[in-house]
Each structure stands twice: as structure tokens, then as C-alpha cells.
């Protein structure tokens, strides 16, 4: 079933090297924080210290009086729409009458030195009337709870922006409720396990902080050089807030230092543009690490109640769940995260009777939105913990229990959607199980170089998990990407130029675009133009969708170019290979360079995946998703059961990627995604107390270091999807989903502790 | 104040330096060398690692004045005679670079490791690079890069 693609050197299926790699290893690659312009000023942001307060007044006089300060702007200075948002326009550019989370921007400053800008920020006086924050999402849903958005004149949901499916939005503090009902919601079974699970707030913790450069233009517009995941959705929001037509807000992708969902929402884009337009000078903004923790949304913390019922042979009879996701102060992408948690809530299993209710809730906690895995991560920790509990209750092997209930091609999701493509759920699990066990010894014991044990009290455990993720945008969204491909002759050789607006965020999309053009056009030299808004939207670098979507668009544009080559050469059903035009029999008819000559061929086209449909608002039924992706993990851990310290000894992954367009990059995605899941299992949590973030630094918010990461084994399957370009399947998110429950299952195996919450802390193990 | 030092073999001078500025700021914003990166500016991530008189340091933790008369080598200074340093080449080939933000600091740290320990075992690699955070790769291909660079030494 593996697809075959004619192998072109550096083409599809080859581990071609990154075109930006040399610049990145020499330090010459220009990230968004590296930009410079003559006469540029530095921007800085004043943020609310309170999670909930009314603003009585803002006094900027002392800040403006500071030498070197060129502008101090507040909500009254926003030239256009005062709010923005991805799905719902509810987030103030600058807070007006109230603040709803700690860190909400209140005022912005431009000065000639970043320290001057920071000192000016410190001189702004804001008179707050501090209110008690709404911090418990369950309590927030109760009747009579204080309303996060109670100010009627300040109604966050007055405008409903276009790029989202029609959302059945909630009322009050309810952002969205997605029910899924299948079969008999009150079904009974002889074996029942129930549990309450909790996921802490994870941060994307990209290394390249929010930053960019806004340059005022002579036409009254602005040129914005920015790190983002979707240039056109930024452009639309920035233009609205500036009160400018879209063609006067031109965005160019600057180097992106990681994204992982945290760059879906705006951060400093409007602020830098406002300051640039006000001062008439270029303005650079670079957040500090601490500010970055307040400058982007996080992964939703969640509380999940699950009940699984099964026959005595292990066959699942029903799953019932209530999932509450804390969306924080503003909507961001919460509606779509809720839909993912609900529709993927039973995992990759066939379940005849399902009753799931997922809720997104407004609180005065930090806003939450997109992070790699997007709602599927929270559900997977709960349903995989439940599967282990069920296996224990039945006395069954946890892998065999999963295999018995595994979703297969032709199976039905709880939404009623037919799974058409390959669904090798049981095979992925058996593959990781059947790998040789991790080596008996280990380079590092729990506690690592701190030398807290010589092996006494150390117990080894092994755990398994598998997850499911939707690829591309769902629920009827018009999801497309645009590519422009130009074939021309330079120095006697046919070369291709690929231009899209797709955001390279580190995943290797620029490489993939080159590879596809090489394969389709039979040329060696392919240049990928800098992504900008001079070409149509590519959609977002999220939902594991860009190789599928922008890859699909580049392939489609290349094929339109090739058709014109064949027409010119008078070769119906031709092919292009190694710089030559071939006829249907494979004979060389002409050199490509001769056919193109001095008349370049250029085509621009949009690519769309198969349409999806909205979910029924009562039953959650509908063909809402485009493609499903699966990954399984086996984690091996050593636990110091006396100190509660964990060392992951090895982690093994099997994932079906449909077609590995770039095998080296695919493995890199799987390893990196797995690391983020290990981080959530063991250490990563933004700790929020009374709406206040307690650990906004890399000293206190820990991400895995090279000492925390174990050796990985990666087994890549290539089972072609019949509907996607080259049969490929989105790769980026699945490894982040199942690694967390696999690690926790391994700790449970070593300790016997229930561990219903991640990250697992030492006190959970020894307490 | 004025700061005078040698950077990548060239004498350099920065004027009007505010005493609170870090060496990182001077390199990036005053000397046009943005290769050292600014991911945390509190010494936790290692992305700003440079050599200061032969010792790898976090440039964010070095006050600009401490660089007076010092010899500094940044990632931009590692290629010799127009060719990539073997460490840079190995990062490129093994796929150790994704977003690339941690890459300059890691390359300097690996360059230092291999100068001290030409053929490090895996635990030595992990200990030596424990101060350099990477969020994209899960580190496996970074270890591959170190092994490859060491094998060519």
C-alpha cells in the first residue's frame, strides 16, 4: 500500500537538506528579533498586574516627559477596531475600561532605547479598582457566577469574525459546549471504571520570543516583518485594528523561532504598527522571556471525568465523559479546541455508545488557545489512563485491550464519521510493544547528575499509549492554500521559483516545497521565495496541515505549469524529468530549458482538501474532520520511589505518516513532539494561583533538557491516504499526544500510584 | 561608555553603551552580530553562548563593561576560510536544525566540548549540553550531530 513516487534527487521521499540550514548554523538567518532599520525605535508594553480590575484612569504624563520617549499610546489611540480575535473578536488591542487577565496590555511606548522604553512604561500610572477574579472554571459555569465579560458596553461577542466556522457559542462564562451522542447514552456494562483526571497549563515555550519590526510606509500603510503562523489572518486583524484597507498592511514572514500554536493569536503586531504609524519611524518590539509568558495563549488546563463500561472480554460498551477546558479571559481558539476534545474524546477506539460533553469556559486565568495537539492532548491523557484502569480491572494486557477495541478502516467515529483511510491502531501498538526492551542499565538514574541514588529505591516501569488527531481545519471551514510557481531559464538551466504565504516555523516546510517542485517539474534548482502577503493565503501552520495543504497547492501549481510545458512542446501526456520533457513512452522530446526559453511560465492556484461538515449542535454528529493521524508510544522509566524522581530511560514511537515526504524531518518532528509530551508528563506547568502566574521564567517553568530526554526509537509507517497529496498524513501533532499518557502509565507501573494529574510531581509519587 | 574588544578576530568599538547593557545586547544591537540569540536573557537557555577569552559564556549574563579588552568569538566567527566549521556542517547534515533559534548557542557549546573532549561518550555529550535548551528537536539529532562532528575530527 506504500505509495511510490519517482525518486528525484532532492525530491519527494528524499531527506533533502533545509535550504535555510546554512544560514541557521552560521547565525546569519534573520529571526524576527534580529531585524534592524535605520532610525528605529523600540516598543514596550505596560501590562496589568491584576487578573480582574476596572480601570479608573491612566496617566501617561510622566512617561511622555522622559527624554527619548516618542509615543505613549492607550486604548483611546487605537485607530480602528478596538478588539481582535481568531474566531471571535473579543480581545482588546489595549484594555479600555477593564482588564480580564494578568498581563493584559494597557499601554504601549516607543523610545530610542529598550531600557528607556521600559522605564517609561514604569512611569505610567494606572488607577485600578481591583475585583475578585473568576478562577475556577466549574464555579464559573454555576448559575449566579460573576461574569468575566459582564460589562455590557464592553461586550466581547459583539462582532463575530469571519475565519471560523459558525460557532454555536455559549452564554455567560460558557465559551462553547460540544456534545457528542452515539448509540444509547445510558448503556450499562458488567465492568465499569471511572476516574477524574486533570491536566495543568502547558506553555509552548518556543525559544524565539514574540518580536517584529513595523515600518511606516509612504502610502500611509505599514510594512510588518513578523514571526507568525498565518500571515493573512494576522493581516486581516491588524488592518481592522489600524482602520486601514488590507492592501496597506503588508506582512512579510521574518525568521520564526518555533511556534507550536503560540503564534496563532496576535501579540505585538498591532502595537508595533500603531507606534510606527504614530511616530513615523520603524518600531521594533521584542518581548522578554517573562513577558512572553503573558504574551501568548497556553494549552488549556482541563478537568475530565470519564466512565468506561466494557464486557468481561474487554469489548468497550460505552464511554461517558465530561470535559471542562479553562479558556481563560478571551475566546482565542477555544471553540475549536473544545470540538477536538469532544470529537476525539474516546480515542482511536470503536465505541458503540458515547455520551461526551466538552465545555470551554471563560475565567480570569491566562487566555488559552492553540498548542500542538489542540484538545486531543487533554482527552488522550484521560482516555488512555482509563484504558489502563480497565485493563487492570479485567486482568488483561493493556496493549491487547486496546487492540481488541482498536479503530479500523471502515470504522465509525463517535461523530458517525466513517474512517476511510488507513487506521493501523492495533498495528502501531504491537509494533512498539514488540521492539526489544530498553537496555537494562541506564546512563543516568533518577536525580541524574545530582547523584541522589546509586540505584537503591529505583523501580522500572513500562507503559503504553496511543492517540488520535485530526489533520487540517475541521467543521466545514473553507480551508485552502495558495501557491505560485514560476518556471524560467537562468544561465541556460530551467529553474523554479515557489512563492506562498505559508509560515516556515522550523518544521521544514521550505524544504518540502522545494522537494515537491523538484519532483513535479524535474528541475534541480528550486528557490522558495520569502513568505508574504503578496500571494494569497496559505492558511495556518497548525493542525499538522501545511505539508498537506501548501504541499498540495505547490503540487497543483506545478502541474498547471507542467501542462503548459506539454502544450508548448506539443506533447500530450508528457512528463518532466532531469530537465527534460518526455513523451508518454518516456522518450526525451526536448530539453525543458529549450521549451521554456525566454518566456517564463507562471501559475497560481488554490488547493482545498475535501469539504467537511459542521457538527450537529445537539448530537455532535457530522463528518467534521478531514484526516485522522495516529501515533503510539512505549515509555520505559526508572522511578526513585523514595524521592519521587523519574528518569525516562527510553521512549519508542510508531506513527503512520502516509508518505514521508522528508524522512529525516519526519523523524525530527516525532522526536520533538514526543519531547513536549514528556515535558507535560513530568515538569511543564504554568502555575496559576488566584489568576496570577507564579513561574514566568525558564528558571521556574521547566522544559526538558538534553539530560531529561531519553534515547528515542522511531518506527515510521507509510500507509497511503487515498485523498491526500502523495498519500501523506500530517505528522507534527500525534507524537505530542500519546507520549504523555505513556510516560505516566510507566510511572504507575513502577509505583502502583493512581497519578490522575499531569505533570506528575514528586509528591504525587511519594505522598 | 565606550567598549573596546576583539570580536571574531577583528578589533571592535561600541560607543554610547549604557552600563546596564549586556554583552549580548552590544553584539546584537551595536556590532551587527545577531547570531547569538536572546531566548531568555537570564542564563537558562544557552542560546546566547559565545566564547569570552576562550571560555563559553552566556553573553546575556556578561555586562558590556566586562567585555572591555576581551577576545570574543561568536557563531559568526567559527567558519574558517569560507567553509563551515565541522560542527556547523554536522548540524546541517543530521537534521539537528529545525527552527534554529537554539542552534548558534549549541554550536558554540559543541565546538567547545569537542575542543576539550574530541570523542565524547553520550553521557558526556548530555552533561555538556545540559545548559542549552532546544524546543524543536527532542535533542536526538543534536546528539547525532555531535557524534558525526566527532567522527570527522
pLDDT at A155: 41
Please compute the mean of the pLDDT values over residues A424-440 and round it to a whole number. 97
B8 and B72 part of one domain: yes
Q: Do A115 and B20 touch (CB under 8 A)?
A: yes
A490 and A422 part of one domain: no
Q: Do A21 and B98 touch (CB under 8 A)?
A: no
Q: What CATH number does the domain containing B65 carry?
A: 3.10.20.30
Residue A727 CA to residue A425 CA, distance in Å, equals: 18
Residue A321 confidence (pLDDT) above 90 = yes
Rg of chain A's alpha carbons, rounded to an integer? Answer: 26
User: CB-hemisphere CA count at 13 Å for A503?
Assistant: 34
Q: What CATH number does the domain containing A106 carry?
A: 3.90.1170.50
Give chain B positions within 8 Å (CB) of A707. Answer: 126-127, 130
Residue A713 CA to residue A654 CA, distance in Å, equals: 8
A54 and A76 part of one domain: yes
* pTM (predicted TM-score): 0.96
The verdict on residue A1 lying in a domain is: no
Instruction: Give strand pairing partners of A109.
Output: A44, A72
**A590: DSSP letter:** E
pLDDT, tens digit (0-9, with 9 covering 90-100), for B58-73: 999 999 999 999 999 9
Residue A758 CA to residue A684 CA, distance in Å, equals: 9
**Cβ–Cβ < 8 Å for A430, A454:** no
B68 and B92 part of one domain: no
pLDDT at A159: 38
The verdict on residue B66 lying in a domain is: yes
pLDDT, tens digit (0-9, with 9 covering 90-100), for A707-749: 999 999 999 999 999 999 999 999 999 999 999 999 999 999 9
Helix, strand or coil, per DSSP, at residue A524 = coil
B8 and B68 part of one domain: yes
B10 and B67 part of one domain: yes
Give chain A positions within 8 Å (CB) of B16. Answer: none
The verdict on residue B59 lying in a domain is: yes
Helix, strand or coil, per DSSP, at residue A252 = strand
B132 and B100 part of one domain: yes
Q: What CATH number does the domain containing A552 carry?
A: 3.30.365.10
Q: Do A698 and B45 touch (CB under 8 A)?
A: yes
The verdict on residue A318 lying in a domain is: yes
B57 and B115 part of one domain: no
Is the dihedral angle over the CA atoms A6, A8, A9, A10 positive or is it negative?
Answer: negative
Tracing cell 503562523 back to the chain, one arrives at: A229
Residue A153 CA to residue A440 CA, distance in Å, equals: 65
Residue A488 is inside which H or E element, if any?
A: strand A480-490
Cell numbers linked to A364 = 480570569
pLDDT, tens digit (0-9, with 9 covering 90-100), for A599-622: 999 999 999 999 999 999 999 999
Give chain B positions within 8 Å (CB) of A288. Answer: 41
The verdict on residue A172 lying in a domain is: no
Query: At A170, is the pLDDT very low, low, confident or very high (cuts 50, 70, 90)?
Result: low
Domains in chain B, number: 2
pLDDT, averaged across chain B: 97
Tracing cell 499526544 back to the chain, one arrives at: A737
Out of A27, A208, A449, closest to residue B99 by CB: A208
Residue A328 CA to residue A297 CA, distance in Å, equals: 9
**Cβ–Cβ < 8 Å for A326, A141:** no
The verdict on residue A144 lying in a domain is: no
The verdict on residue B58 lying in a domain is: yes
A619 and A748 part of one domain: yes
The verdict on residue A204 lying in a domain is: no
pLDDT, averaged across chain A: 95
B48 and B98 part of one domain: no
Residue A134 confidence (pLDDT) above 70 = yes
Q: Do A706 and B132 touch (CB under 8 A)?
A: yes
The verdict on residue A193 lying in a domain is: no
Residue A9 confidence (pLDDT) above 50 = yes
B42 and B92 part of one domain: no
Cell numbers linked to A707 = 539530560
Cell numbers linked to A426 = 492495533
A628 and A684 part of one domain: yes
Share of chain A above pLDDT 70, in %: 96
Cell numbers linked to A38 = 535605520
pLDDT at A164: 39
Q: What CATH number does the domain containing B116 carry?
A: 1.10.150.120
Instruction: Give strand pairing partners of A129.
Output: A54
The residue among A588, A608, A628 that closes a domain is A608
Out of B94, B99, B139, closest to residue A258 by CB: B99
- A672 at interface of B, judged by CB pairs closer than 8 A: yes
Residue A568 CA to residue A624 CA, distance in Å, equals: 42
**Cβ–Cβ < 8 Å for B96, B145:** yes
pLDDT, tens digit (0-9, with 9 covering 90-100), for A572-603: 999 999 999 999 999 999 999 999 999 999 99
A490 and A459 part of one domain: no
Residue A162 confidence (pLDDT) above 60 = no
Interface of A with B in 478-517 (CB under 8 A): 505-508
Question: Nearest CA to A633 among A372, A420, A438, A414?
Answer: A438
B11 and B71 part of one domain: yes
Per the structure, the complete domain to which residue A587 belongs is given by 21-29+480-608
A339 and A376 part of one domain: yes
Please compute the mean of the pLDDT values over residues A58-78 and round it to a whole number. 98
Is the dihedral angle over the CA atoms B108, B109, B113, B116 positive or is it negative?
Answer: positive
Out of A94-103, A144-153, A217-226, A273-282, which region has the weakest mean confidence (pLDDT)?
A: A144-153
Query: At A544, is the pLDDT very low, low, confident or very high (cuts 50, 70, 90)?
Result: very high
The residue among A574, A608, A642 that closes a domain is A608
Strands A249-253 and A98-99: unpaired
**Cβ–Cβ < 8 Å for A75, A95:** yes
The verdict on residue B106 lying in a domain is: yes
Query: At A309, is the pLDDT very low, low, confident or very high (cuts 50, 70, 90)?
Result: very high
Residue A564 is inside which H or E element, if any?
A: helix A546-569
A519 and A569 part of one domain: yes
Share of chain A above pLDDT 90, in %: 94
Residue B94 confidence (pLDDT) above 60 = yes
Residue A153 confidence (pLDDT) above 70 = no
- CA dihedral in degrees (A127, A132, A137, A142; nearest 10)? -130
**Cβ–Cβ < 8 Å for A196, A305:** yes
Alpha helices (H) in chain B, listed in sequence order = 23-25, 86-94, 103-116, 122-128, 140-151
A443 and A567 part of one domain: no
The verdict on residue B120 lying in a domain is: yes
Task: Find the residue in B nearest to A675 (Cα).
Answer: B138
Residue A231 CA to residue A666 CA, distance in Å, equals: 24
Cell numbers linked to A747 = 510511572
Residue A385 CA to residue A466 CA, distance in Å, equals: 11
B47 and B95 part of one domain: no
pLDDT, tens digit (0-9, with 9 covering 90-100), for B16-32: 999 999 999 999 999 99
Out of A17, A207, A712, closest to residue B138 by CB: A712
Out of A207, A288, A508, closest to residue B102 by CB: A207
Residue A308 CA to residue A319 CA, distance in Å, equals: 5
The residue among B29, B51, B76 that closes a domain is B76
The verdict on residue A508 lying in a domain is: yes
A490 and A603 part of one domain: yes
B140 and B116 part of one domain: yes
Mutation for testing the A interface, residue in B83, B98, B128 having most A CBs under 10 Å: B98
Q: Do A697 and B44 touch (CB under 8 A)?
A: yes
- A351 at interface of B, judged by CB pairs closer than 8 A: no
- B122 at interface of A, judged by CB pairs closer than 8 A: yes
Residue A5 confidence (pLDDT) above 90 = no
The verdict on residue B35 lying in a domain is: yes
Residue A163 confidence (pLDDT) above 70 = no
Rg of chain B's alpha carbons, rounded to an integer? Answer: 15
Task: Find the residue in B nearest to A35 (Cα).
Answer: B34
Cell numbers linked to A128 = 485600578
Q: Do A257 and B100 touch (CB under 8 A)?
A: yes
The residue among B27, B56, B76 that closes a domain is B76
Q: Environment class of residue B11 by beta-carbon count within 10 Å: exposed (0-12), middle (13-18) or buried (19+)?
A: exposed
**B103: DSSP letter:** H
Cα separations in angstroms, B127 against A371, A454, B110, B153? 29, 18, 11, 20
A503 and A464 part of one domain: no
The residue among A295, A319, A351 that closes a domain is A295
Residue B66 CA to residue B72 CA, distance in Å, equals: 11
The verdict on residue B44 lying in a domain is: yes
Domains in chain A, number: 3
The verdict on residue A190 lying in a domain is: no
B58 and B101 part of one domain: no
pLDDT at A161: 37
Q: Environment class of residue A762 by beta-carbon count within 10 Å: exposed (0-12), middle (13-18) or buried (19+)?
A: middle
Per the structure, the complete domain to which residue B70 belongs is given by 3-76
- B16 at interface of A, judged by CB pairs closer than 8 A: no
**A188: DSSP letter:** -
B4: Cβ contacts below 8 Å, ≥ 6 apart: B11, B12, B13, B68, B69
Asked if the ipTM is above 0.90, the reply is: yes
A691 and A576 part of one domain: no
The verdict on residue B81 lying in a domain is: no
Query: How many other CB atoms are there within 10 angstroms of residue A10's CB atom?
Result: 20
pLDDT at A151: 63
A484 and A399 part of one domain: no
Amino acid at each position: 500500500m506504500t505509495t511510490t513516487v519517482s525518486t528525484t534527487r532532492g525530491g519527494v521521499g528524499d531527506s533533502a537538506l533545509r535550504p535555510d540550514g546554512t544560514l541557521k548554523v552560521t547565525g546569519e538567518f534573520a529571526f524576527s528579533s534580529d531585524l534592524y532599520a535605520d532610525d528605529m525605535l523600540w516598543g514596550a508594553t505596560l501590562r496589568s498586574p491584576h487578573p480582574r480590575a476596572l480601570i479608573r484612569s491612566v496617566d501617561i504624563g510622566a512617561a511622555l516627559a522622559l527624554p527619548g520617549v516618542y509615543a505613549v499610546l492607550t486604548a483611546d489611540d487605537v485607530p480602528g477596531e478596538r478588539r481582535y480575535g481568531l474566531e471571535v473578536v473579543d480581545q482588546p488591542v489595549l484594555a479600555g475600561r477593564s482588564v480580564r487577565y494578568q498581563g493584559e496590555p494597557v499601554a504601549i511606548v516607543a523610545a530610542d532605547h529598550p531600557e528607556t522604553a521600559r522605564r517609561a512604561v514604569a512611569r505610567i500610572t494606572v488607577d485600578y479598582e481591583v475585583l475578585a477574579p473568576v478562577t475556577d472554571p466549574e464555579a464559573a459555569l454555576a448559575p449566579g457566577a460573576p461574569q468575566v465579560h459582564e460589562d455590557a458596553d464592553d461586550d466581547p461577542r459583539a462582532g463575530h469574525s469571519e475565519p471560523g466556522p459558525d460557532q454555536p457559542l455559549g452564554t455567560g462564562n460558557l465559551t462553547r459546549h460540544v456534545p457528542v451522542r452515539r448509540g444509547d447514552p445510558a448503556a450499562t456494562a458488567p465492568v465499569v471504571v471511572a476516574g477524574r483526571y486533570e491536566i495543568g497549563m502547558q506553555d509552548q515555550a518556543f525559544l524565539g520570543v514574540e518580536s517584529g519590526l513595523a515600518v511606516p510606509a509612504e502610502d500611509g500603510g505599514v510594512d510588518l516583518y513578523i514571526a507568525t503562523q498565518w500571515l493573512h489572518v494576522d493581516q486581516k486583524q491588524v488592518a481592522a485594528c489600524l482602520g486601514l484597507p488590507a492592501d496597506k498592511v503588508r506582512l512579510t514572514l521574518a525568521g520564526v523561532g518555533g511556534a507550536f500554536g503560540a503564534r496563532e493569536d496576535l501579540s505585538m503586531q498591532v502595537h508595533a504598527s500603531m507606534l510606527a504609524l504614530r511616530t513615523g519611524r520603524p518600531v521594533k518590539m521584542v518581548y522578554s522571556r517573562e513577558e512572553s509568558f503573558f504574551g501568548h495563549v497556553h494549552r488549556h488546563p482541563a478537568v475530565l471525568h470519564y466512565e468506561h463500561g466494557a464486557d468481561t472480554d474487554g469489548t468497550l460498551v460505552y464511554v461517558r465523559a465530561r470535559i471542562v477546558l479553562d479558556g481563560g479571559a478571551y475566546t482565542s481558539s477555544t471553540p475549536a479546541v473544545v470540538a477536538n476534545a469532544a470529537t476525539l474524546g474516546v480515542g482511536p477506539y470503536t465505541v458503540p455508545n458515547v455520551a461526551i460533553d466538552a465545555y470551554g469556559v471563560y475565567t480570569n486565568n491566562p487566555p488559552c488557545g492553540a498548542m500542538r495537539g489542540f484538545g486531543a492532548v487533554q482527552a488522550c491523557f484521560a482516555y488512555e489512563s482509563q484504558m489502563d484502569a480497565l485493563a487492570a480491572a479485567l486482568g488483561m494486557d493493556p496493549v491487547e485491550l486496546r487492540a481488541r477495541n482498536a479503530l479500523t478502516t471502515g470504522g465509525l467515529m463517535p461523530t458517525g464519521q466513517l474512517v476511510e483511510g488507513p487506521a493501523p491502531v492495533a498495528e502501531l501498538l504491537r509494533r512498539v510493544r514488540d521492539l526489544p526492551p530498553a537496555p537494562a542499565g541506564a546512563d543516568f538514574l533518577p536525580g541524574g547528575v545530582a547523584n541522589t541514588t546509586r540505584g537503591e529505591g529505583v523501580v522500572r516501569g513500562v507503559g503504553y499509549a496511543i492517540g488520535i488527531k485530526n489533520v487540517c481545519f475541521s467543521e466545514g471551514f473553507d480551508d485552502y492554500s495558495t501557491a505560485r510557481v514560476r518556471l524560467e531559464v537562468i544561465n541556460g538551466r530551467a529553474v523554479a521559483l515557489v512563492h506562498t504565504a505559508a509560515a516556515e516555523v522550523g518544521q521544514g516546510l521550505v524544504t518540502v516545497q522545494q522537494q515537491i517542485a523538484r519532483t513535479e517539474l524535474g528541475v534541480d534548482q528550486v528557490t522558495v521565495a520569502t513568505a508574504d502577503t503578496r500571494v494569497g493565503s496559505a492558511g495556518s501552520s497548525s493542525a499538522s496541515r501545511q505539508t498537506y495543504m501548501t504541499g498540495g497547492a505547490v503540487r497543483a501549481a506545478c502541474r498547471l505549469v507542467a501542462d503548459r510545458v506539454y502544450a508548448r512542446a506539443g506533447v500530450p501526456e508528457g512528463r518532466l524529468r532531469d530537465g527534460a520533457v518526455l513523451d508518454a513512452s518516456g522518450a526525451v522530446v526536448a530539453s525543458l530549458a529549450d521549451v521554456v526559453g525566454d518566456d517564463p511560465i507562471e501559475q497560481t492556484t488554490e488547493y482545498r482538501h475535501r469539504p467537511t461538515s459542521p457538527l450537529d449542535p445537539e448530537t455532535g454528529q457530522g463528518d467534521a474532520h478531514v484526516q485522522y493521524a495516529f501515533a503510539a508510544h512505549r515509555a520505559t522509566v526508572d522511578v526513585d520511589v523514595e524521592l519521587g524522581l523519574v528518569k525516562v530511560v527510553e521512549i519508542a514511537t510508531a506513527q503512520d505518516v502516509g508518505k514521508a515526504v522528508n524522512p529525516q524531518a519526519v523523524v525530527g518532528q516525532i522526536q520533538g513532539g514526543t519531547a513536549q509530551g514528556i515535558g507535560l508528563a513530568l515538569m511543564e506547568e504554568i502555575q496559576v494561583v488566584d489568576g496570577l502566574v507564579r513561574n514566568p521564567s525558564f528558571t521556574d517553568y521547566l522544559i526538558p533538557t538534553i539530560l531529561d530526554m531519553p534515547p528515542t526509537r522511531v518506527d515510521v509507517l507509510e500507509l497511503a491516504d487515498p485523498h491526500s497529496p502523495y498519500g501523506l498524513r500530517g505528522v507534527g501533532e500525534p507524537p505530542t499526544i500519546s507520549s504523555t499518557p505513556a510516560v505516566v502509565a510507566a510511572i504507575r507501573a513502577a509505583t502502583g500510584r493512581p497519578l490522575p494529574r499531569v505533570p506528575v510531581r514528586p509528591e504525587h509519587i511519594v505522598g | 561608555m565606550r567598549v573596546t574588544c576583539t570580536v571574531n578576530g577583528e578589533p571592535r568599538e561600541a560607543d554610547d553603551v549604557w552600563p546596564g547593557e549586556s554583552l549580548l545586547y552590544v553584539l546584537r544591537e551595536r556590532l551587527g552580530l545577531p547570531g547569538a540569540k536572546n531566548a531568555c536573557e537570564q542564563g537558562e537557555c544557552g542560546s546566547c553562548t559565545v566564547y569570552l577569552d576562550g571560555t563559553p559564556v552566556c553573553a546575556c549574563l556578561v555586562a558590556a563593561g566586562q567585555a572591555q579588552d576581551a577576545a570574543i568569538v561568536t557563531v559568526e566567527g567559527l567558519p574558517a576560510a569560507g567553509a563551515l566549521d565541522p560542527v556547523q556542517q554536522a548540524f546541517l547534515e543530521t537534521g539537528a536544525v529545525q527552527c534554529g533559534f537554539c542552534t548558534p548557542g549549541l554550536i558554540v557549546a559543541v565546538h567547545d566540548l569537542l575542543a576539550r573532549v574530541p570523542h565524547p561518550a553520550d553521557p558526556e555529550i548530555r552533561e555538556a549540553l545540559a545548559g542549552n535548551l532546544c524546543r524543536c528537536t527532542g535533542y536526538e539529532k543534536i546528539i547525532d550531530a555531535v557524534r558525526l562532528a566527532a567522527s570527522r575530527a
